[in-house]
Structure 1
Amino acid sequence: MSGAKPVHAAQTLFPVVDGCLQVGGIALTRLARRVGATPFYAYDRALLSERVRHVRRHMPSGLALHYSMKANPMPALVQHMAGLVDGIDVASGGELRVALDTGMAPEHISFAGPGKSEPELSQAIAAGACIHAESEREVRVVARLGEQLGIAPRLVLRINPDFELKSSGMKMGGGAKQFGIDAEDAPRVMALAADMGLDVRGFHIFSGSQSLKADAIIEAQVQALALARRLGEQGRIAVRELNIGGGFGIPYFPGEAALDLAPIGAHLETALPAVRAALPEAQVSIELGRYLVGEAGIYVARVVDRKLSRGQVFLVTDGGLHHHLAASGNFGQVIRKNYPVAIGNRMDGPATEPVSVVGPLCTPLDILAERMALPEAQEGDLVVVFQSGAYGRSASPAGFLSHPEVLEVLV
């Protein structure tokens, strides 16, 4: 692309032409006019496709790749992902409806998460989706609903392992957790399910997310595969499905490096033959959300005021924490660090002015960038928050202060 140049490390997926960021081959300023309003999220379908190809290049053949829809449930994006992956993992009845609308075969849609309601479980059973049971109570409910519907439910047991994913941003397994059936209780629940005539197809073992350390992910996979083999030997089931989660993270902050998939793929290449020998019917899958979509999306807000307060410059935008809670610091619950932020229509300008980018809400927590060096920006310029393809719109308090909803586009 003539005139293109990369931007800093956390933003290298998006090219720049003549000082303007490009999304899906479209200049940001032109895209903003096409959308018709700010703020908005924009997702680049070519980057989504390339990320899936990147994963497949590094993972062994025969390993299934699932998209974890909770990362981004935008229907158009999910439709695109459905054509690239082997399965979709959902976490609510609403997500299940979106997944079914893509045309993905129901048997390749899995439904996990604690506290599923009976209407949601009935919907999943009737559709033919695979339910990942999180508790003994849920197993009993699935058995009763299946009998009432006259349908044999597709069921996998989600296991809370006795280990965790080290160095992960969010630990989903190990210790006392609301997720899954404790590993030590799994043989008893498997026996219960067999006595009730349920078709338990296998296990879902997920220990954590957002790790940038390949060795930690490999260690968790070693333990997950070993646990699956032990449970397969102890239970009265033929293991046909084995979801070992993912945990692949993306870099957000200075000093963080991208995850190297090569050693992870090499480990699985050597480990899977033994698993297949022990569990010959098992289809092994990994489940990724943030890693597939996070770096392919940006959040765009327009500067509506440039304000100088006692020597500090504030760029006040029409977007903020109500649309992008994670970038703002989750209502002050974490020590805030700046996401990669840029002035999308001034990418070739020198980043010489320390500014704070804030939103329109009546709270000092409404911050998108704090004392960050950016090119000098004026009213009407476009602020871009990178790494925004996952846990953005749907993970933010859109109703806070009753501002308009944020738009989303797939380009």
Structure 2
Amino acid sequence: MTQFVVSQGELMPGGDSLSRLAARVGQTPFYAYGRAQIRQRVAELRQALPSKIRLHYAMKANPMPALVGFMAGLVDGLDVASAGEMKVALDAGVSPKDISFAGPGKRDAELRQAVAAGVLVNIESFREVDVLAQASQTLGLPARAAVRINPDFELKSSGMRMGGGPRPFGVDVEQVPALLANLGRAGLAFEGFHLYPGSQSLSTEAICQALQQSFDLALRLSQHAPDKVRVLNLGGGLGVPYFPGDKPLQLEPIGEQLERLLQLAQAHLPQTSLVLELGRYLVAEAGIYVTRVVDRKYSRDQLYLVADGGLHQHLAATGNFGQLLRKNYPVAIGNKMGQPATQVTTVVGPSCTPLDVLADRVPLPEAQVGDLLVVFQSGAYGANASPHQFLTHPPCVEVLV
């Protein structure tokens, strides 16, 4: 993949050859995330987006502490989805005022922790209002609260739809006025709204439409708010190309749309900051998964490479992370870059299941036992979204390079 340097036939993540990096890590498999690639992606966004747009990193994409600490210096805030992620964010030195907490299943204890920490809670049910009110009274701190809205539209052409229709996420738009009234009576410190209609969209037009619809909906609901709207999280949904035929997003139209929304906000919600919440888009292409070939075999004329990594550490690459149709992530033999792809190969992991396929019938250079297979686009929903305990294989290693 073009975001990584190749020298003398080897991938060079972080400036070192892949073989040297594997020796430094001391084992395979492992994930490596590139600082340079993350920094470049954020810089490209900053250049394309209006300067007044606040950029947040959604930690659920990749909560590795070292990566979060690095990201904290590049973005304007962090969005967490559990008390565990909140701890990582606070340990990274991020101010509680720049942390928001979303998720449909927040436990009472997590809500109390959020109030005590002073982070913004995106409320997703009437029950959460009651729990936050009780925690505020007990701690003597008014809970910072926003309302996550389940809108009456969805992000079209998205890989994962999280709004519109019946959803566990947020409060249905028709119920929001009643919830806002409850929030006001409970004395919570209302700050704004959060919408996230979908993710992994490669349609610029669909993203711009969803941003406009989200703003319009928040503007309409602001009439019922117990206080001024100070923050409007418009979500994100920006996708990355994983498979053949996928094309990268064009950022310029999205930046132009956000500029129009800033002008509308200045006219109708002058005290409101607009937030763009991105996870996958910031880190997916900065990460690689590296696994070593441990066996090479033929079965009825089909060549198989058996690797020491697979489904237990990279569920998404095997097509088992909610994908309807399995497609191959981009793969390469990382220590034989540039060599001709002379063999059609299927790469499988070590697990005793036919689901453990990292690459199905892909053209690759001739690989031998000991070679290093690289799965690209692995910086998001990789290690943290995989069943590490399956078959009790060794734990996964992650490094920031």
Distance across 1 between alignment mates of 2:40 and 2:291:
26
| Residue number in structure 1 paired with 2:280 | 290
Matched, 1:337 2:319: no
Paired residue secondary structure (1:242): strand
Paired residue secondary structure (2:12): strand
Distance across 1 between alignment mates of 2:362 and 2:325:
16
**TM superposition shift of 1:332:** 8.4
Which of 124, 132, 146 is the equivalent residue of 1:142? 132
**TM superposition shift of 1:331:** 7.0
Matched, 1:14 2:7: no
| Residue number in structure 2 paired with 1:58 | 48
- Contact 1:18–1:348 (Cα < 8 Å) also in 2: no
Question: What code does the residue aligned with 2:97 have?
Answer: E
Which of 115, 122, 127 is the equivalent residue of 2:112? 122
| Residue number in structure 2 paired with 1:236 | 226
Which of 353, 365, 380 is the equivalent residue of 2:343? 353
| Residue number in structure 1 paired with 2:257 | 267
- Contact 1:253–1:337 (Cα < 8 Å) also in 2: yes
Instruction: Note the alpha carbon deviations across 1:287-329, whole angstroms, 9 max, x for none.
Output: 0000000000000000001111111110001000000000101
Matched, 1:299 2:324: no
Instruction: Note the alpha carbon deviations across 1:218-274, whole angstroms, 9 max, x for none.
Output: 000010010111011233321001100000000000000001111000111122111
| Residue number in structure 2 paired with 1:193 | 183
Paired residue secondary structure (2:79): strand
Change in 2 beyond 3 A, CA 1:256/1:333: closer
Question: What code does the residue aligned with 1:39 have?
Answer: P
Matched, 1:313 2:303: yes
| Residue number in structure 1 paired with 2:123 | 133
- Contact 2:190–2:226 (Cα < 8 Å) also in 1: no
Residues paired across the two proteins, number: 401
Distance across 2 between alignment mates of 1:82 and 1:163:
32
Distance across 2 between alignment mates of 1:308 and 1:185:
59
Question: What code does the residue aligned with 2:356 have?
Answer: D
Question: What code does the residue aligned with 1:18 have?
Answer: Q
Question: What code does the residue aligned with 2:168 have?
Answer: Q
- Contact 1:162–1:174 (Cα < 8 Å) also in 2: yes
- Contact 1:131–1:156 (Cα < 8 Å) also in 2: yes
Distance across 2 between alignment mates of 1:375 and 1:114:
46
Distance across 2 between alignment mates of 1:213 and 1:402:
40
Paired residue secondary structure (1:170): strand
| Residue number in structure 2 paired with 1:207 | 197
Question: What code does the residue aligned with 1:297 have?
Answer: G
Distance across 2 between alignment mates of 1:287 and 1:274:
20
| Residue number in structure 2 paired with 1:220 | 210
Question: What code does the residue aligned with 2:163 have?
Answer: G
232-241 or 306-315: bigger deviation: 232-241
Question: What code does the residue aligned with 2:54 have?
Answer: A
Instruction: Note the alpha carbon deviations across 1:305-362, whole angstroms, 9 max, x for none.
Output: 1111111110001000000000101178632110000000001110120000001110
Distance across 2 between alignment mates of 1:332 and 1:173:
17
Question: What code does the residue aligned with 2:145 have?
Answer: L
Question: What code does the residue aligned with 1:221 have?
Answer: L
- Contact 1:316–1:357 (Cα < 8 Å) also in 2: yes
Distance across 1 between alignment mates of 2:189 and 2:323:
42
Which of 371, 376, 385 is the equivalent residue of 2:366? 376
* TM-score scaled by length of structure 1: 0.96
| Residue number in structure 2 paired with 1:4 | none
Alignment RMSD: 1.0
Matched, 1:403 2:393: yes
- Contact 1:67–1:87 (Cα < 8 Å) also in 2: yes
Question: What code does the residue aligned with 1:239 have?
Answer: V
Consecutive unaligned residues in structure 2, runs of 5 or more: none
Instruction: Note the alpha carbon deviations across 1:29-69, whole angstroms, 9 max, x for none.
Output: 11001001000000001111111111111111111000000
Distance across 1 between alignment mates of 2:153 and 2:178:
20
- Contact 1:331–1:365 (Cα < 8 Å) also in 2: no
Distance across 1 between alignment mates of 2:356 and 2:186:
52
Distance across 2 between alignment mates of 1:333 and 1:52:
27
Matches within 5 A, 1:87-102: 87-102=77-92
Distance across 2 between alignment mates of 1:246 and 1:26:
33
**TM superposition shift of 1:14:** 0.8
Distance across 1 between alignment mates of 2:70 and 2:400:
9
Identity of aligned residues (%): 60
Question: What code does the residue aligned with 1:236 have?
Answer: P
Consecutive unaligned residues in structure 1, runs of 5 or more: 1-10
Question: What code does the residue aligned with 2:83 have?
Answer: G
Paired residue secondary structure (2:399): strand
Distance across 1 between alignment mates of 2:323 and 2:32:
27
Change in 2 beyond 3 A, CA 1:177/1:54: same
Distance across 1 between alignment mates of 2:14 and 2:322:
33
- Contact 1:332–1:365 (Cα < 8 Å) also in 2: no
Question: What code does the residue aligned with 2:130 have?
Answer: R
Distance across 2 between alignment mates of 1:111 and 1:331:
24
Instruction: Note the alpha carbon deviations across 1:199-235, whole angstroms, 9 max, x for none.
Output: 1100001100000010000000010010111011233
Which of 162, 167, 177 is the equivalent residue of 1:177? 167
* TM-score scaled by length of structure 2: 0.99
Distance across 1 between alignment mates of 2:236 and 2:372:
34
Paired residue secondary structure (2:359): strand
Distance across 1 between alignment mates of 2:282 and 2:269:
28
Distance across 1 between alignment mates of 2:95 and 2:122:
17
Question: What code does the residue aligned with 1:120 have?
Answer: E
Distance across 1 between alignment mates of 2:323 and 2:316:
10
Question: What code does the residue aligned with 1:299 have?
Answer: Y
- Contact 2:129–2:186 (Cα < 8 Å) also in 1: no
Distance across 2 between alignment mates of 1:132 and 1:235:
14
| Residue number in structure 2 paired with 1:6 | none
| Residue number in structure 2 paired with 1:8 | none
